[in-house]
Amino acid sequence: MMFCPECKSMLKSYEGKLRCPKCGYEKDISDKTQLLKTRQRVEKEITIVEEDQNIATLPTTKIKCPECGNNTAEWWLRQLRSADESEVRFFRCTKCRHTWREYD
């Protein structure tokens, strides 16, 4: 992107020139290959992580698993009810992968 050297606004293409909509500064476009017109928005690539993969990305805490008695679990928060109510805390045991929740 090109910015106006006088007022720092973004220059826009107009009739073969770059023009500042704020102060009127104009500059000839010397290299037309830098200007690209697209008709369709291109989405960026999104990486999907499958839930069954054992990737340690969640924080952990010391809490006893009700299934196996292990003392470490991953945790996360989700807003399940209306916005004026508190979030729900989820836990997943790092040993047996049992998931449970706690409400405030």
Q: What average pLDDT score do residues 23-36 get? A: 74
**CATH code: domain of residue 9:** 2.20.70
Q: Please provide the DSSP assignment of 40-79 as one string.
A: SPPPPP-PPPPTTS----S-EEE---TTT--SEEEEEEE-
83 found inside a domain: yes
Q: Please provide the DSSP assignment of 2-45 as one string.
A: -B-TTT-PBPEEETTEEE-TTT--EEE-S-GGG----SSPPPPP
Q: How many domains does the chain have?
A: 2
Indicate whether this model's pTM tops 0.85: no
4 is in an annotated binding site: yes
Catalytic positions, written as ranges? 84-85
Q: Is the pLDDT reported for residue 43 higher than 90?
A: no
Residue type, 5: P
8 is in an annotated binding site: no
13 is in an annotated binding site: no
What's the confidence (pLDDT) of residue 57? 79
Structure tokens at 65: 């698993």
Q: Which of 31-40, 53-62, 76-85, 94-103 has the lowest mean pLDDT?
A: 31-40
53 found inside a domain: no
Average predicted confidence (pLDDT) for the chain: 82
d(CA 88, CA 98): 16
Q: What average pLDDT score do residues 32-41 get? A: 63
pLDDT tens readout for residues 9-20: 888 887 878 889
Write out the residue range of the structural domain in which residue 91 sits.
Answer: 60-102
101 is in an annotated binding site: no
Alpha-carbon torsion (54, 58, 61, 65), positive or negative: negative
50 found inside a domain: no
